[in-house]
Chains A and B, each alone.
Chain A
Amino acid sequence: MTSTPSPLTVAVRRSWDASRYLLIGIPVALTACVGVFLVLAVLLSAVVVIGLPALPEAAKVLRRFAESERRRAAARLGVPFRPTPYLPLDAEELSDRVRRALTDPATLRDVFRLPFQALAGNALGYLTMLLWPVGLLVDGAALTVVHLLDRRTSDEYGTPVPVRRGWVLRWHPVLADLSASWTRDVLTSPVSAVLDERIAQLTESRAGAVEAHGAELRRIERDLHDGAQARIVALSMRIGLAKQLLDRDPAAARVRLDEAQDGAEAALAELRHVVRGIHPPVLTDRGLGGAVRALAAGVAVPAEVVLHGIDDGRRLPAAIEAAAYFVVAEALTNISKHSGATAATVRIARGPGTLRVRIGDDGRGGADERAGSGLVGIRRRVAALDGTTRISSPAGGPTDIEVELPCGS
């Protein structure tokens, strides 16, 4: 009988859980307050252009802040929230990043919530504090009296007596749940909005894919036109000249033929280069695993290759294999050219619906995407397949590149 906690203990424990949520709301509200001014400052400086690069960065910080609030509210309510469909902010062009930061509905929702959060968070926090002394006095007295008068946990018919909840302290959980539900309602996207935004994301990445595909075709066309095709025309001309010279001046004809042979070899080398750029033959021969091992064997820095779920029996789509190969090749080239690393690791893992490629080294880091390293090419090729790229390369190292490509089942 005595093992049941007294109603006061139960009420205090509940209030304490709720109060923690509400009290943390105070520093969060203060942060939101600072956030309001920061958003204004960034917007103002963006108007006079200088602050433009800061805009997408500020949006990222804001998203992280909102995301942590969502996590806190979800923990309070005990139900997971729908993932927020943010538009990615890692586009290569600044103008694209700024445009997305300004038009992304999910980010805008985060912004509009900031002032309310600043006010409501503070108000609720102080109300919480105020409720405690009052609650302890009133409920403490009342519940103790009730408890002393009636210790039964069930009435005479065996029906359990509901635990009495106090009159003041019961408001803490109510306030906390209200606040958390409000966070859920305002900060998370309604289902239709989630779909709309996913559609917007897909439209964007599909447009990117079409654009990248077009650019790729134009590049191949240009390579063939300016390279192999031009060389073969010159070759044919040299053979024609040699035929003319054959009777009159055999020695000169021989020179033309020598040049023609050089030209033919150069054209072949050119074609090999183009073919390698479209779909490396070693991929066809050896699959992604074998091809990446061959790549790793071909760099000066010792590179370890770790494969998961990559086997020859279940080949990936050719475009995904080619992109993964390209990413590894670019990353390894960067590593051996710029990083000063003494070791590198390539990890490729096939999960349900995704292929994850990760290349790390122990070099000096500081890889700059704007400095024309292969990183831009990696991003572009991955984005074209609706994949994501994450590059971390702090000065002093190490560099870590992680790419995720969607690949069906």
Chain B
Amino acid sequence: MRIVIAEDNALLREGIILLLTGSGHEVVADAATGPEILPALLEHRPDVAVLDVRLPPTFRDEGLRAALAARAELPGLPILVLSQYVEETYAAELLARGAQGIGYLLKDRVGRVEQFLEALDRVAAGGTALDPEVVSQLLTRKASARPLQSLTARERQVLEHMAQGKANSTIAAELVVTERAVSKHIGSIFAKLGLEPDDGTVHRRVLAVLAYLEGRGEDRGHR
């Protein structure tokens, strides 16, 4: 895949480039500041962009802003946002215009090379990758909700993986169960939470689950 990355820390930038080229990808451009991102994306039209949130010149959230601007300029451009910390609000902003081709992960996850590459592939293919920490922030908030408490321990695990944007086959492999069992669990979760039955489109069901967890309906947008 052709990838554009934005990361201001040279050590991390080199590390990520090494990791990506080592697994057969091509880094076509690397940006070290926020304003460089959009021109680079427009020029190279990569298969996926990997953006750090905090970048020069202001060291605030320009990576995130650049991601939102890029999505407006180039609809459907897959973007994976990496950050030193995750904030549920940022996830909501990223997902406001659909979950297709959006990833939001802690930088820590890069260390799990295989899982990171799998998430990157998933995002590039139009899927969703949400950090487990975002999902657990959402789940903690809704912890006392009755329907969530009615889930079995296994269903809860499946829900967490599902909200991260994983496909049934991936969930099955990680939990060491059959895909059939996973889809049975998912059916049961959707029934217990009172959601529309799963139609098998991963990014759509991520949104449905997130909307449920956020308790604000599907169209959340900016507040």
A267-304 CB mask vs B (1 if < 8 Å, else 0) is 01100100110000110111000000110011110000
- A14-66 residues at the B interface, CB under 8 angstroms: none
B84 at the interface (CB under 8 A from A): yes
Instruction: Find chain A residues with CB under 8 A from B54 CB.
Output: 281, 285
A268-B108, A300-B142 given; A293·B223 CB < 8 A: yes
The distance in angstroms between the C-alpha atoms of A110 and B198, with both chains bound, is 73
Report which residue of A268, A293, A299 has the largest number of chain B beta carbons within 10 angstroms of its beta carbon. A268
The answer to whether B70 has its CB under 8 Å from any CB of chain A is no
What is the bound-complex CA distance between A264 and B106, given in angstroms? 13
Q: Determine the distance from Cα of A275 to Cα of B84 in the docked complex, in whole angstroms.
A: 11
Q: Is A297 touching B59 in the complex (CB atoms < 8 A)?
A: no
Known: A276-B85, A281-B84, A294-B89. A265 touches B108 (CB 8 A): yes
CB–CB B85/A272 < 8 A:
yes
Answer whether A294 and B142 are a contact pair too, CB < 8 Å, given A261-B111, A264-B111: no
Asked if B184 CB lies within 8 Å of chain A CBs, one says: no
Asked whether, in the complex, the Cβ of A261 is within 8 Å of the Cβ of B112, the reply is yes
Determine how close the nearest CB of chain A comes to the CB of B117; give it in whole angstroms. 15
Contact partner of A285 (CB less than 8 A), chosen from B60, B92, B214, is B60
A336 to B223 CA separation, bound complex (whole angstroms):
21
Contact assessment for A297 and B85 in the assembled complex, using a CB-CB cutoff below 8 Å: no
- Establish whether residues B85 and A281, one from each chain, have CB atoms under 8 Å apart when the complex forms: yes
Task: Give every chain B residue within 8 A of A265 (Cβ-Cβ).
Answer: 108, 111
In B181-223, which residues have CB < 8 Å from any A CB?
A: 214-215, 223
Interface string of B125-165 (1 = CB under 8 A from A): 00000000000010001101100000000000000000000
Looking at B54, B59, B106, B108, the one whose CB has the most chain A CB atoms below 10 A away is: B108
Q: Which B residues between 92 and 113 are near A, CB-CB below 8 angstroms?
A: 92, 106, 108, 111-112
Q: Which of A264, A268, A282, A285 has the largest number of chain B CB atoms within 10 A? A: A285
A298 lies within 8 A of B141 (CB):
yes
Q: Decide if B87 is an interface residue (CB 8 Å cutoff).
A: yes
Smallest CB–CB gap between B23 and chain A, Å? 18
Q: In terms of DSSP, what is the predominant structure of the interface of chain B?
A: loop
Residues of B within 8 A of A272 (CB): 84-85
Query: Per-residue 0/1 for A333-357: is the Cβ within 8 Å of any B Cβ (1 yes, 0 no)?
Result: 0001000000000000000000000
- Residues from chain B with a CB closer than 8 A to the CB of A284 are 59-60
Closest partner residue, chain A, to B87 (CB atom): A282
Q: Does B61 interact with chain A (Cβ within 8 Å)?
A: yes
Number of A-B contacts (CB under 8 A): 50
Q: How far is the CA of A97 from the CA of B94 in the complex (A)?
A: 51
**Residues of chain A in range 246-268 having any CB-CB distance to chain B below 8 Å:** 261, 264-265, 268
Which residue of B85, B111, B144 is within 8 Å of A300 (Cβ)? Answer: B144
Q: Does the CB pair A300–B61 fall under 8 Å?
A: no
A182 to B92, CA, bound (A): 65
Instruction: Provide the B22-57 mask, 1 if CB < 8 A to any CB of A, else 0.
Output: 000000000000000000000000000000011000
Q: Which A residues are in CB contact (< 8 Å) with B145?
A: 300
Q: Are A293 and B89 in contact (CB under 8 A)?
A: yes
Q: Which residue of A lies closest to B133 (CB)?
A: A269
The reply to whether A275 and B85 form a contact with Cβ atoms under 8 Å apart is yes
Distance of A281 Cα from B107 Cα, bound (Å): 15
Q: Looking across the interface, which residue of chain A has its beta carbon closest to that of B88?
A: A298
Q: Which residue of B lies closest to A281 (CB)?
A: B85
Are the C-beta atoms of B87 and A294 separated by less than 8 Å?
Answer: yes
Q: Which residues of B (67-86) have their CB < 8 Å from a CB of A? A: 84-85
Which A residues touch B141, using CB under 8 A? 298-300, 336
**B144–chain A nearest beta-carbon distance, Å:** 7
Once the chains bind, are A298 and B89 in contact (CB under 8 Å)? yes
Say how far A268's CB is from chain B's closest CB, in angstroms: 5
Residues of B within 8 A of A264 (CB): 108, 111
A268 / chain B contacts, CB cutoff of 8 Å: 106, 108
CA distance A264 to B109 in the complex (A): 11
Tell me the bound Cα distance from A298 to B223 in angstroms. 13
Chain A residues near B142: list those with CB within 8 A.
Answer: 300
How many angstroms between the C-alpha atoms of A33 and B47 in the bound complex? Answer: 86
A238 to B128, CA, bound (A): 34
Bound form: Cα–Cα A337–B61 in Å: 31
In the complex, how many angstroms separate the beta carbon of A44 from the nearest chain B beta carbon? 50
| Residues of chain A within 8 A of B53, CB atoms compared | 285
Q: CA–CA, A299 to B223, complex, Å?
A: 15
Q: Residues of B contacting A293 with CB < 8 Å? A: 89, 223
B51 smallest CB distance to A (angstroms): 14
B158 to chain A, nearest CB (A): 22
A396 to chain B, nearest CB (A): 22
Closest to B83 in A: A281
For the complex, what is the distance from the CA of A282 to the CA of B215, rounded to whole Å? 22
A272 CB to nearest chain B CB (Å): 5
- 28 example contacts (A-B, Cβ-Cβ < 8 A) are as follows A261-B111, A261-B112, A264-B108, A265-B108, A265-B111, A268-B106, A272-B84, A275-B85, A276-B85, A281-B54, A281-B84, A281-B85, A282-B85, A282-B89, A284-B60, A285-B53, A285-B60, A285-B61, A285-B87, A286-B60, A286-B61, A294-B87, A297-B92, A297-B223, A298-B137, A299-B141, A300-B144, A300-B145
Instruction: Name A residues whose Cβ lies closer than 8 Å to a Cβ of B.
Output: 261, 264-265, 268-269, 272, 275-276, 281-282, 284-286, 293-294, 297-300, 336
14 further A-B contacts with Cβ under 8 Å, apart from A261-B111, A261-B112, A281-B54, are: A264-B108, A265-B108, A268-B106, A272-B84, A281-B87, A282-B89, A285-B53, A285-B54, A285-B87, A293-B89, A293-B223, A298-B141, A300-B142, A300-B144
Q: Rank and list the top 5 A-B pairs by shortest CB-CB distance, nearest first.
A: A294-B89, A285-B61, A285-B60, A268-B108, A300-B141
